[in-house]
Amino acid sequence: MASGSKPVVIDSRDGKHTATIIFLHGLGDTGHGWADSLSAIQPSYCKLICPTAPVQPVTLNAGMIMPSWFDLMTLTHDGPEDGEGILKASASIMKIIEEEQSKHNIPSNRILLGGFSQGGALSLHTGLRYSQPLAGILALSCWLPLHKEYPNAFVQGNKEVPILQCHGDSDPLVPKMWGNITADILKEMLKTTEFKVYRNMGHTSCNEEMRDAAEFIKKCLPPV
């Protein structure tokens, strides 16, 4: 598997870096795909990191090579999953989280993890299994990978982590049913999780969702 290109990094605008947002793109995209939208709602004291996934064959797309955090094998919720690939991808994101702590003195509870579609799935997987509590998880149009491993796989130190899960009711790629199932699992484990559904939204984003995301970020990462 080829390694991903360097992440898109947008530094804090006021020079006071006290928090970090890490956002993971969807299948076939790059870190540039979401950088502009997120920089528009990025608080001035936050650094934004948008990594790009490694390039690899994707079974679901007839083996086509593209940026992908892990292999996708089926569109069915209970189909086979790339457990090894998910683990490897999660480890790479945890490394970014740990570098923010060790190199920039940003504590884990000042780091917000998020993503769209496959990237949102990876953000949920990583955040729920990370050894330290994060500021929050922003999960857009996605699902919880390896969902049958919960609640045993859940790291209890993360039970306070707030999650905003968003989904379109007209999503043809990641059906809202997947979002419903994920939301039910999360509510069983977490104290603060919210599932917002947007009318007539497909597998994309909308202005209302971005406004909700901005409010969630500010709530999870207030100025210090």
Amino acid letter for position 155: V
Is there a catalytic annotation at residue 117? yes
| Mean pLDDT of all residues in 122-151 | 95
Q: By C-alpha distance, which of 91, 49, 84, 51 is closest to 70?
A: 84
- pLDDT at residue 182 greater than cutoff 50: yes
Catalytically annotated residue among 29, 71, 82, 171: 171
Phi then psi for 48, rounded to 5 degrees?
-110, 130
* pLDDT on residue 106: 97
Residue 20 near residue 51, CB atoms below 8 Å: no
Mean pLDDT of the chain: 94
- pLDDT at residue 3 greater than cutoff 90: no
Q: Rounded to two decimals, what is the model's pTM?
A: 0.95
* pLDDT on residue 14: 87
| Mean pLDDT of all residues in 134-160 | 91
Is there a catalytic annotation at residue 171? yes
Is there a catalytic annotation at residue 203? yes
Catalytically annotated residue among 117, 123, 141, 205: 117
- pLDDT at residue 197 greater than cutoff 60: yes
Per-residue pLDDT of 61-120, as tens digits, reads 999 999 999 999 987 778 899 999 999 999 999 999 999 999 999 999 999 999 999 999
Per-residue pLDDT of 25-73, as tens digits, reads 999 999 999 999 999 999 999 999 999 999 999 999 999 999 999 999 9
The Cα–Cα gap between 3 and 17 comes to 28
**Structural domains of the chain in order of their starting residue, each with its CATH number:** 8-220 (3.40.50.1820)
How many CB atoms sit inside 10 A of residue 32's CB?
13
Burial class (CB in 10 A: 0-12, 13-18, 19+), 44: exposed
Share of the chain above pLDDT 70, in %: 98
* pLDDT on residue 4: 59
